Structure 1
Amino acid sequence: MTNLSIENSKKTALGSDLGNDANNRIESLLNSLSLAQKIGQLNLIPIEGKPTSEHHALIAEGKVGSVLKSNGAAQNRALQEIAVSNGQVPLLFQEDVIHGYKTITPVPLAEAASWDLDLIQSSAAVAAREAAASGLHLTYAPMVDVSRDPRWGRILEGAGEDPFLGSLIAERRVLGFQATNTLQTENVLATVKHFAGYGAALAGRDYNIQDISERELREIHLPPFKAAIDAGVSSIMLAYTAYDGTPLTCNEFLVQDVLKGELGFQGLVMTDWETIPNLIKIGVAEDLKQATLMAISNNVDMDMTSNAYTLHLKALLDEDKISLDIIDESVRRVLRLKYTVGLFDDPYLYFDEQRETNELLKTENKQTALALSRKSMVLLENKNGILPLDSSNSNLTKIAVIGPFAKTKADLNGWWFAEGNPEDTISVFEGLDTALAGKIKLSYAQGVSIDKFTQSGADLIPEAIKTAEEADIAVVVLGEEYWMSGEGGGTASLHLPGLQEQLLEAIAFTGTPVVTVIVSGRPYVLTDIAKNSNALLQAWMPGTMGGKAVADILLGEYNPAGRLPVTFPYHSGQVPIYYNYKRTSHTFDAGENDLRYSTTYRDVQSEPLYCFGFGLSYSKFEYSNLRLSSQSMTLDSSIIVSVDVKNVSERQGIETVQLYIRDEVASVSRPFKELKDFAQVLLLPEQQQTIEFVIASDKLGFIGKNLSTVVENGEFTVFVGSDSSTNESLQFRLS
């Protein structure tokens, strides 16, 4: 059973007081800096590829405090030597290490599908070790934006649609980056992003400003940030977007009142890429000087890539539009991070080339990546138990591996693959070929081509049909190319790009059983895909070990255990669709076709194709004897919800038991149900185990009329089951 608490975890509260000695050293250094050097500490510049003489000059003059996009122990040491030898403050090196550095793990949405908090933390720890060994101090992760719209490309970078699950994962990823590895030089500083509400992008288009209520902000978008802050995250990145009409860069309510006041964040606040000049584009600043004033007045400490601070802070100070104190306070926060990673004692602490060679892609790292790849994949269909494939079956002699993503490597790594090399990635074809060598013959056909979103490659379909006809089983690997999801990767259509659906239909028509594997960074509409598949596996973008993980699942070496962290729509028109919708005045029962006035669709079902929390296993589990320790509780007490779960199959497997709660009557409209706890349990064949959940008042609170958390007396319904569609429930009363 997964332990949802964080007992004995090392939390590094990087925004808190570092102690008298550290603070004295920081103050001494701060007082020794010239104004130009102070402003330089707030300047974050990109160095993509090899540094130029201009980069060297800026560093030597103290006009740069941090560098992003420069990778490798040797290169970063050389840049650090320039800074130190010229009497400047050592540089802080930063990078987008989102889901692995050299060993690429599944994209974060896929990691969330594992519902395995320990494994997610281990994945972040692997990324931290590799990044730190390559001369990096800070990563721009975790992204904790909650999203309910699969059209938004960056949904792949978060934990899905649920703020509770997202909060647990945010905490673990922060701990994984900052505090899991034994040595200081094996950890990196984490940056939680994008504060706040960025995941509510209008129409699924990235950077598109959406007006959301303060209630939605507090109920959905803020909880994962609070979890990251409570876990000691070092820095926070502000969103490109706006809240209540004011961009985050200059939004004093969210930064001053909420972030620093209510959430108690004391760490560093940075912009996203050129966010300060974006104030001009958005139309709230006349020029860069005004935008700079708005940002620094809002205590935005670090300017990423725009040079706004180096260009305008001195003039703003000379004109008495800002005080030196506000600059000093931002510099202090930069210096605290540099002290935390040891740069005051040894500027070259992270630049060990031998350690870099030993760490990257080492066996232990790949084993963690494989474990997470396997556990993140979600079995969506398995008609007549066609999976797992039995390689010892004499009737199974030839498998056709078909599809534009059967041999792809780069697309398995997804967006934000840091220094990952596609050549190090195991494709699906390679994974099957290695596993079946000498046992079963494999054939291959590309099927169609992927030319952006055009319908191309129809001439390849006949060959795929012939290949399928000559095989006993067809494994068809469909999906999207790595660039189609991720930042800027919004799509209007949620059907697989190109002619992939037509390809699958043609293969299914041959009568050869079809096992479909989906490689994607977002939920697609798989309604027709499911109809034409005997089995369907959502493999996501699974990273370096992805092909082996797929083979392990298809061949039964691993029993699938992934559960969806996001709803898969039945039809694109349902979007946004999610499980924890608010209760309404009319029914949501699509089965009542004679009821005209219902909150349903006339042309398609209202339910999703696959609900939040859904996932199949090769094992079968039965739930029974749902019970409560009491029918009532008080604010100061708790009750225990118990359920018996039995593996009624001949194969051991992992079940994710999920607890949902509904507040029956509240002062504001509440969701139909909300995830409040879960447990993963490994059960042997015919084994039964009692799963217990403790319900205390903290699981019953909500954002009340005054927009603060309240707990109200009344009736509550508790649901326990294998996914969010469960209706097995009991009631209790809080009084």
Structure 2
Amino acid sequence: MKHLVRKLKTMAVLLVVVVISAHAQKTPQDMDRFIDALMKKMTLEEKIGQLNLPVTGDITTGQAKSSDVAKRISQGEVGGLFNLKGVAKIRDVQKQAVENSRLGIPLLFGMDVIHGYETVFPIPLGLSCTWDMKAIEQSARIAAIEASADGISWTFSPMVDVSRDARWGRISEGSGEDPFLGAAIARAMVKGYQGKNMSGKDEIMACVKHFALYGAPEAGRDYNTVDMSRNRMFNEYMLPYQAAVEAGAGSAMAAFNEVDGVPATGNKWLMTDVLRTQWGFDGFVVTDYTGISEMVDHGMGDLQAVAALALNAGIDMDMVSDAFVSTLKKSVEEGKVSVASIDKACRRMLEAKYKLGLFENPYKYCDVKRPAKDIFTPEHRAIARKTASESFVLMKNDNQTLPLQKKGTIAVIGPLGNTRSNMPGTWSVAAVLDNAPSLVEGLKEVTKGKANVVYAKGSNLMSDAAYEERATMFGRSLHRDNRTDKEMLEEALRISADADVIVAALGESSEMSGESSCRTDLTMPDVQRTLLEELLKTGKPVVLVLFTGRPLVLTWEKENVPAILNVWFGGSEAALAIGDVLFGDVNPSGKLTTTFPQNVGQVPLFYAHKNTGRPLNKGWFEKFRTNYLDVSNEPLYPFGYGLSYTSFTYSDISLDRSSMAVNGELTATVTLTNTGNRDGAEVVQLYIRDLVASITRPVKELKGFEKVFLKAGESRKVSFKITPELLKFYNYDLQFVCEPGEFDLMIGGNSQEVKTTRFVLTD
């Protein structure tokens, strides 16, 4: 009888919710009235429960009632769950919240949908190398369609951390070293995930992360200390976060690192002064995994102290630490946290659910018929294949080694040549790993029997078995071969002997980059380098198909290998896309968004550096100048670099005026010509240098780009509008200003090869 009464009460609450919500998608005032009414019914414990995001193991469909988290849900102690996969499972758990808790408040269901759901797109670093904002937005749109079809309403993406240190593993998860490009990608991703206003059943909430500065840890080691001036923060690192906020991101995630000596998770200046007051963010902030409890090890106090620190700083949701639910009530009683602060955080969580339409329909994302028609569809896979082919960067192509012909015998050699599980890349948690064909399988499909594709592993990933185990976690094993290195090499050479061309599938495994996958040695692993050396000695044409989640040191490879195609980790359709590019069905157009160093000693290395008072003149070496004894200052491959199967030339830059006022504008134009015999796309890049300013300024900064497709022999004028907004920077007092004076304007195909002209900004 008690159960029946409770169920009737729950249904009554739900009826009120639905009646109110029927009129609730109108104005902010309607939302406020609805949430005011709901919060008046809530106890303090229920309010704190909305701030709790616990971890849960897999829940078998139909077993949600007996899951460990079910009791907590029924008691109103849970605001959301994450990384639970399967719409039927999620529907069961949502039913527990809606029908078995006192107020029937629905849960958020989040997931690390980083670069696709089951249709996996290139890792974000690879995706950024497309420089194609429409394609990037479309990748997020497809991810939202598929994730929402499987019950997910919230994604922990986009990650917009600027990173200039190739040692850091999570460089693979971001968009590279440049804040201007990163900001454009942040906007595209938020729009792709959230659509117009998150009202559609296939629109989900984005979460911009990791706020802030997570991509700049000391020594390139994950979770490590970050320390920089506020001037550098705002001029070089903050723009992508701000762009995501301005694009309407519904949530943000706190970073693990400290900022100005205070962990981001407890940093009020960061979470309140900057994010909310300065930028006007009106969503909610969630911690990263155990971010609150980790502040104990940072030395900020015990669990109760750091929970209070986080809430008072502006954190709204506690991921996994259980710190809010276990300590906040006590902190209220002791006067360390106010009820008003808890109310504010609770309101933000309820607003997020309201904006997603979960009060109107708690089962909005729980249509069990959708997965079959919306996930891993032929249409989605075709788009992912095309996008992957755009992300690959042709780094070297001597004597037109590429494209290959679909004939003869092609030997695929290397430990990355016949693995399905490594193709999607790191942070592809929803992927069905066996869905991704291996490179060998992909090349066989693309050649359609016209060529004989053969394979040998050639070597293990590296000689150190323990290292390989660390580098192939989460089901990405390369199934270490117990033969000797000599036996594996001899087999590879035997198979290669009858081949017309060798495709060397080498580099990193997918888990050699990503979270907690930092490296101090960025060269090709030992046994793979030996394998490559021996393959080159055969005299056969060798194409290095390079798998990597970061810039690698390829100094030897650049000198010795005739063709290098960097394919990053291209997603579930990577193998087919690689075939498309290798055989010339697609002309490569990717451009690097991170600088490749000559050796790890140059790291961090990035194009938008500043001059010293003793800049190096052209050449190397010069005593008492800023340089090294053993290597030049130059990168191996610069930011913006990438070759094509055709060639492009740039005219000199034409300006419609030589000066502009601080409230005016000017237009810069170049004529781009495809001078080769193939159709192709070129990323035209605009850079600007502020020659004299009140603080030191970089030697150049990206301020515009356009991807242009030209048929062979075709020319087109490409124009950029220069506005004062593009010339602004944060001065010594952190005022966002543009200062009159001379500016160099550069346009070209990468950050080093540019045409240059000059203009003046006047008062």
Instruction: Please indicate the TM-score interval, normalised by the length of the shorter structure.
Output: over 0.9
What is the CA-CA distance between 1:277 and the residue it aligns to? 0.9
The code of the aligned residue for 1:323 comes to: S
Task: Determine helix, strand or coil for the equivalent of 1:625.
Answer: coil
The code of the aligned residue for 1:173 comes to: M
User: Which residue number corresponds to residue 623 of structure 2?
Assistant: 596
Does residue 671 in structure 1 map to residue 685 in structure 2?
Answer: no
Distance 1:612 1:625 in 2: 21
Residue from 487, 490, 495 that aligns with 1:459 = 487
Task: Determine helix, strand or coil for the equivalent of 2:54.
Answer: strand
Does residue 544 in structure 1 map to residue 544 in structure 2?
Answer: no
Query: Measured at CA, do residues 82 and 449 of structure 1 come closer, stay the same or move farther in structure 2, by a change above 3 Å?
Result: same
Distance 1:407 1:589 in 2: 48
Does residue 114 in structure 1 map to residue 130 in structure 2?
Answer: yes
Task: Determine helix, strand or coil for the equivalent of 1:720.
Answer: strand
Measured against aligned partners, the alpha-carbon deviations of 1:255-288 in whole angstroms (never above 9, x if no partner) come to 1211111111121011111111111101111x11
What is the CA-CA distance between 1:572 and the residue it aligns to? 1.3
User: Which residue number corresponds to residue 314 of structure 1?
Assistant: 329
Residue from 85, 95, 108 that aligns with 1:81 = 95
User: Which residue number corresponds to residue 476 of structure 2?
Assistant: none
Residue from 352, 362, 368 that aligns with 1:347 = 362
Distance 2:51 2:395 in 1: 48
Task: Please report the TM-score for the alignment, with normalisation by the length of structure 2.
Answer: 0.92
Q: Percent identity?
A: 40
Does residue 371 in structure 1 map to residue 386 in structure 2?
Answer: yes
Mapped contact 2:56–2:68 kept (Cα < 8 A): no
Give the alignment of 1:334-483 within 5 angstroms. 334-391=349-406, 396-450=407-461, 451=465, 453=467, 457-483=485-511
User: Which residue number corresponds to residue 203 of structure 1?
Assistant: 219
Task: Please report the TM-score for the alignment, with normalisation by the length of structure 1.
Answer: 0.95
Does residue 59 in structure 1 map to residue 86 in structure 2?
Answer: no
The code of the aligned residue for 2:306 comes to: A
What is the CA-CA distance between 1:296 and the residue it aligns to? 1.2
User: Which residue number corresponds to residue 38 of structure 1?
Assistant: 47
User: Which residue number corresponds to residue 302 of structure 1?
Assistant: 317
User: Which residue number corresponds to residue 28 of structure 2?
Assistant: 19
User: Which residue number corresponds to residue 4 of structure 1?
Assistant: none
Distance 1:181 1:379 in 2: 39
What is the CA-CA distance between 1:726 and the residue it aligns to? 2.1
Measured against aligned partners, the alpha-carbon deviations of 1:41-92 in whole angstroms (never above 9, x if no partner) come to 1110112312553211111111111111211110011011111112331111
Distance 1:548 1:589 in 2: 46
The code of the aligned residue for 1:656 comes to: V
Mapped contact 1:46–1:70 kept (Cα < 8 A): no
Distance 2:529 2:559 in 1: 11
Instruction: Compute the RMSD of aligned alpha carbons.
Output: 1.6
Mapped contact 2:198–2:355 kept (Cα < 8 A): no
Mapped contact 1:411–1:480 kept (Cα < 8 A): no
The code of the aligned residue for 1:548 comes to: L
Does residue 166 in structure 1 map to residue 182 in structure 2?
Answer: yes
Which stretch has the larger CA shift, 597-606 or 358-367? 597-606
User: Which residue number corresponds to residue 548 of structure 2?
Assistant: 520
Gaps of 5+ in 2: 1-24, 469-479
What is the CA-CA distance between 1:483 and the residue it aligns to? 1.6
What is the CA-CA distance between 1:452 and the residue it aligns to? 5.0
Which stretch has the larger CA shift, 104-113 or 250-259? 250-259
User: Which residue number corresponds to residue 343 of structure 2?
Assistant: 328
Residue from 277, 280, 283 that aligns with 1:264 = 280
Task: Determine helix, strand or coil for the equivalent of 1:718.
Answer: strand
Distance 1:538 1:17 in 2: 49
What is the CA-CA distance between 1:169 and the residue it aligns to? 0.3
Gaps of 5+ in 1: 1-15
Measured against aligned partners, the alpha-carbon deviations of 1:406-456 in whole angstroms (never above 9, x if no partner) come to 111211111111210121102211111112232111221101012454698
What is the CA-CA distance between 1:469 and the residue it aligns to? 2.4
Residue from 578, 581, 584 that aligns with 2:606 = 578
User: Which residue number corresponds to residue 127 of structure 1?
Assistant: 143
Mapped contact 1:658–1:678 kept (Cα < 8 A): yes
Mapped contact 1:125–1:181 kept (Cα < 8 A): no
Distance 2:663 2:244 in 1: 27
Distance 2:720 2:212 in 1: 31
Query: Measured at CA, do residues 199 and 17 of structure 1 come closer, stay the same or move farther in structure 2, by a change above 3 Å?
Result: farther
Distance 1:171 1:586 in 2: 39
The code of the aligned residue for 1:20 comes to: Q
What is the CA-CA distance between 1:604 and the residue it aligns to? 1.7
Distance 1:226 1:457 in 2: 51
Mapped contact 1:719–1:726 kept (Cα < 8 A): no
Query: Measured at CA, do residues 727 and 104 of structure 1 come closer, stay the same or move farther in structure 2, by a change above 3 Å?
Result: closer
Distance 2:339 2:730 in 1: 39
Distance 2:118 2:641 in 1: 31
Residue from 709, 715, 731 that aligns with 2:742 = 715
The code of the aligned residue for 1:704 comes to: N
Task: Determine helix, strand or coil for the equivalent of 1:412.
Answer: coil
Give the alignment of 1:168-187 within 5 angstroms. 168-179=184-195, 184-187=200-203
User: Which residue number corresponds to residue 69 of structure 1?
Assistant: 83
What is the CA-CA distance between 1:250 and the residue it aligns to? 1.5
The code of the aligned residue for 1:324 comes to: V
Mapped contact 1:138–1:190 kept (Cα < 8 A): yes
Measured against aligned partners, the alpha-carbon deviations of 1:393-413 in whole angstroms (never above 9, x if no partner) come to xxx511111000011121111
The code of the aligned residue for 2:33 comes to: N
Which stretch has the larger CA shift, 639-648 or 426-435? 426-435
What is the CA-CA distance between 1:182 and the residue it aligns to? 9.3
Aligned residues: 714
Measured against aligned partners, the alpha-carbon deviations of 1:582-618 in whole angstroms (never above 9, x if no partner) come to 122223346143x222222221222111100000001
